[in-house]
Amino acid sequence: MAADYVSPFDERVRAAEPLAPRPASVQGQHAVLLDIRKNRGAEFLDRVETLLRAAGVSTARVTKEIFSKPAALSLIDEIASGGGLVVEALAD
Amino acid sequence: MADGTGALGDRLAPELGVRGAGPAHVTVGGLTAAGCALLVFVSEHCPTSALALRRLGPLCQAWARAGLTAVAIFEDPLDVAIRTARRLGWGGQVAADDPPYPASRAYRVATVPTAVLIGRGGVLVGTVAGWDQPALAALLGAAGEMLGAGLAVPPAAEPLRKPGCSAKAAIDPELAAAMSGPGGGDELEEMFERGWTDGLPVIPPTAERVEAMLGGRDGGASLGLVPPAMGEATLERVAACAVLAGCRPAYFPVVAAAARAVLDPAFNLHGQAVTTQPAGQLVVVNGPVREAIGLNSGMGALGPGFRANLTIGRALRLLVTLTGGAMPGAMDRATLGHMGKLGFCVAEDEEVSPWEPLHVDRGFAAGQSVVTVIGSDAPLSISDHRSRTPEDLAYILAWAAASTWSTHWWPLAEPSVFVICPEHAQMFRDAGWTKQRLRQFMFDAVRKPARQLLRGETTPVVHAAAPDTQVPKWASPEAIVLLVAGGEAGRYSAVLGPCTGMGSQIVSREVT
């Protein structure tokens, strides 16, 4: 039956990426805070950053070009190599 | 027990005659090679099956590491199974039990979902029919004992129990075959079952129809990846979408050009496809191809009645929705959407227009056939039967757009599209107004002091401006796009607000 039709879907099966292991504690970790440029996302990250630092976490801030486009691969690489934790501020 | 739970003693599991999505042939031996197997018989239409897949899916990878291989066996075509499993977050293997459902019959499945645990040596250990969290936890406990490992169980969340649905395998085999067999069922209904639709009936994309649509072109050629799911837009899949939409083969070059245009990163289809905004993809066609394929640019130019307009726009949207995975309610997150998202294709009436057509504005020769795509909101009609000067008319047209996107969101950087009707266009022709003059007049006309715009949703420009600074509705005259189309009688033009905040640019491609 399936051979009679041409599917409009890309039927390739993609393996789900497993979640990275979660640390038992944030103490001593490094966190990258990603601002996707949604309205007031930076304010949210300011507060999160304050709380993380109080909990002994070092932080770095990165920003997407625009919220509506996928992050550049170079930015993803920067995040992946920059720390063990990531916090992303999504929508307003 | 929801629908019944059973321990099966030392019966051996029947062999499985099901097709899988890697491995292609799913066998009991293969599933139990690492220890135990959990078969979950499901159906795409069954809400309880969906509940089971959602709750069990996230546990599959951990089970696999402990030696329990889980497979969801659908009473649906394999492509439907793969898509449904992906949508519901199922992390195990996926297989399809084709009509007349031999695997379901062999396992005596009367209800979906039914979970079947197979132990070492292919021994049937137990079954759970319907959704029954305590019984499933007990079944997984038994699997854990056999494997010598603690297995994660689904959370004890409401509903703890939910009856399943009747399995297709429980229907008389001849009836089931008649309902589902090739040529024996209703092809149009089958398209809905497969999910190959935008909600309206479609033309089944048989290999013959797709081949005719391709017209000798290389179906394997790729136009790129369609966001958000990044499905590959091979020409064959674009042609399948054109068949589904009801296109004639003569329309295909326009569909393909529109596909190439929306896949240009500058258009930012990714953002448009998933946004909560209503934005659709407006397709504007210019040049000789309009007449060659019967595109309407006259009476009812933005409405129904013309196959070429409706099916070309629909084919593009099906590409975004199906190949690109932007299914409304799933990855398409539009709060309301608009009917133009079914398909939105307009041809410019270049012969009636007093101005150079859009594609010439964009650097093409008048004799070229060109598709231009613009992220657009729904049309807002602008009635003006009383203006007697071009200034009055231009003022009315421009101010009609003041509330597009939002009454206080000024200025708009992205393009607003004005479709000027022939009678309105005639007034500008008679007065000798160029397109540039009209655009500049409209840009200058719509301004407000910043203090009047400081309410609710407004822009950083307004917040930063001094209270009496005049803020324009558009960031520049170039954000005003002018087309001419419509019936010769009646003074109704229209404005289509922009897709905002995404950096989406207008993109044009020649029809080849």
pLDDT average, residue stretch B113-142: 95
B22 vs A contacts (CB less than 8 Å): 13
Contact present, B428 and B491 (Cβ < 8 Å): no
Contact B91 A16 (CB under 8 A): yes
Whether the pLDDT of residue A90 is over 90: the answer is no
Angle at alpha carbon of residue A18, lines to A12 and A24, rounded to 5°: 170
Length of chain B: 512
Average pLDDT, chain B: 93
Q: How confident is the model at residue A82 (pLDDT cuts 50, 70, 90)?
A: confident
Helix axes B235-245, B207-214, angle to 10 degrees: 110
Structural domains in chain B, CATH included, are 5-173 (3.40.30.10), 193-510 (no CATH)
Residue B26: which residues within 8 A CB-CB, separation 6 or more?
B16, B18, B19, B20, B71, B73, B93, B95
Whether the pLDDT of residue B4 is over 50: the answer is no
- Report the distance separating Cα A75 and Cα A88, nearest Å: 13
- Report the distance separating Cα B376 and Cα B494, nearest Å: 12
Give the nearest chain A residue to B225 (CA atoms).
A10
B503 vs A contacts (CB less than 8 Å): 66, 68-69
* Per-residue model confidence (pLDDT) at position B249: 98
> Strand B124-129 relative to strand B114-118: parallel, antiparallel, unpaired?
antiparallel
Contact A9 B231 (CB under 8 A): yes
Q: How confident is the model at residue B321 (pLDDT cuts 50, 70, 90)?
A: very high
- Report the distance separating Cα B290 and Cα B298, nearest Å: 11
* Per-residue model confidence (pLDDT) at position B10: 66
pLDDT average, residue stretch A58-68: 92
* Per-residue model confidence (pLDDT) at position A3: 45
Contact B244 A70 (CB under 8 A): no
B177/chain A closest Cα distance in angstroms: 12
Q: How confident is the model at residue B3 (pLDDT cuts 50, 70, 90)?
A: very low
* Per-residue model confidence (pLDDT) at position B8: 57
pLDDT average, residue stretch B402-410: 95
* Per-residue model confidence (pLDDT) at position A39: 83
Residue B47: which residues within 8 A CB-CB, separation 6 or more?
B165
Average pLDDT, chain A: 87
Return the DSSP state at A68. T
Contact B244 A2 (CB under 8 A): no
Query: Any CB–CB contact under 8 A between B64 and chain A?
Result: no
Positions of E strands within B406-454: 416-420, 447-449
Percent over 90 (pLDDT), chain B: 82
Contact present, B509 and B253 (Cβ < 8 Å): no
Whether the pLDDT of residue B1 is over 50: the answer is no
Residue B153: HSE in the Cβ half-sphere, 13 Å Cα cutoff = 19
The pair of structure tokens assigned to B490 is 């009646």
Interface list for B 166-185 with A (CB within 8 A): 180-182
Angle at alpha carbon of residue B158, lines to B129 and B333, rounded to 5°: 100
Chains A and B form CB pairs within 8 A to the count of: 83
Contact B237 A7 (CB under 8 A): yes
Interface predicted TM-score (ipTM): 0.84
Give the nearest chain B residue to A38 (CA atoms).
B501
Q: Out of 2.20.25, 3.30.70, 3.40.120, 1.10.10, which CATH number does the structure's domain A28-92 have?
A: 3.40.120
- Report the distance separating Cα B434 and Cα B414, nearest Å: 22
- DSSP, collapsed to helix, strand or coil, labels residue B331 as coil
B241 vs A contacts (CB less than 8 Å): 8
The pair of structure tokens assigned to B215 is 């017209």
Give the nearest chain A residue to B324 (CA atoms).
A9
Percent over 70 (pLDDT), chain B: 95
Among A70, A13, A24, residue whose Cα is nearest residue B86 = A13
Query: Any CB–CB contact under 8 A between B305 and chain A?
Result: no
- Report the distance separating Cα B389 and Cα B395, nearest Å: 10
pLDDT digits 0-9 by tens, B281-318:
999 999 999 999 999 999 999 999 999 999 999 999 99
Whether the pLDDT of residue B195 is over 60: the answer is yes
> Strand B492-498 relative to strand B447-449: parallel, antiparallel, unpaired?
unpaired
* Per-residue model confidence (pLDDT) at position A2: 43
Contact A10 B237 (CB under 8 A): yes
Q: Which of B79, B318, B319 sits opposite A2 (nearest CB)?
A: B79
- Report the distance separating Cα B262 and Cα B332, nearest Å: 16
Positions of E strands within B278-391: 280-286, 345-347, 370-383
Contact B21 A13 (CB under 8 A): yes
pLDDT digits 0-9 by tens, B5-52:
455 556 899 998 898 987 788 999 999 999 999 999 999 889 899 999
- Report the distance separating Cα B373 and Cα B509, nearest Å: 9
Helix axes B422-431, B390-400, angle to 10 degrees: 140
Contact B94 A13 (CB under 8 A): yes
